[in-house]
């Protein structure tokens, strides 16, 4: 389908733009959730901790943290631990709750806890609020 004007993107472009936005949000959610977990367990989150957690380079973490800081989700200072802003902490908690709901749902279906944990990592970022509510209702039964 061709665009109606040079400024108007076609359906394919809009689809890919939405996917890129979802992937960026997924990375942000993973990072703030990991930072919150590190702060909870170690009282601090450092670039080296995140690089080890995600299996990526320090450069990748530094670039991602820079984007998260621009989005108002984290606060950093040279040679200090990374902290979450209120918005970042809120996103981390919402992500953690979604993750727990998906894991519990999958376990209720008979999926092993190990597989449910692994599968939830991808599902939690793409599940709609409607589906998440249905999962919670199923778990509550």
pTM: predicted TM-score of the whole model, two decimal places: 0.81
Residue 55 lies in a domain: yes
- Report pLDDT for 7: 64
Q: Is residue 22 part of a domain?
A: yes
**Phi, psi values for residue 78, rounded to 5°:** -55, 135
How would residue 8 be classed by pLDDT, with cut points 50, 70 and 90? Answer: low
CATH of the domain at 134: 1.10.60.10
| 95 and 40 share one domain | no
DSSP for 10-68?
-HHHHHHHHHHHHHHHHHHHHHHHHHHHHHHHHS-B-HHHHHHHHT--HHHHHHHHHHH
Same domain, 78 and 103: no
Asked if residue 65 belongs to a domain, the reply is: yes
* Domain hosting residue 56, numbered range: 11-85
Is 80 exceeded by the pLDDT of residue 4? Answer: no
- The H-or-E segment that residue 83 falls in is strand 83-84
């Amino acid at each position: 389908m061709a665009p109606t004007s040079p400024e108007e993107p076609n359906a394919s472009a809009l689809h890919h733009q939405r996917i890129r936005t979802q992937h960026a949000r997924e990375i942000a959610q993973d990072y703030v959730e990991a930072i919150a977990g590190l702060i909870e367990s170690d009282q601090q989150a450092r670039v080296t901790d995140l690089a080890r957690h995600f299996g990526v380079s320090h450069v990748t973490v530094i670039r991602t943290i820079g984007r998260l800081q621009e989005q108002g989700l984290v606060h950093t200072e040279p040679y200090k631990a990374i902290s979450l802003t209120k918005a970042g902490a809120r996103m981390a908690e919402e992500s953690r709750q979604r993750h727990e709901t998906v894991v519990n749902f999958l376990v209720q279906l008979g999926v092993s806890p190990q597989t449910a944990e692994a599968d939830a990592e991808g599902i939690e970022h793409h599940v709609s609020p409607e589906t998440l509510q249905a999962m919670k209702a199923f778990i509550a039964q």
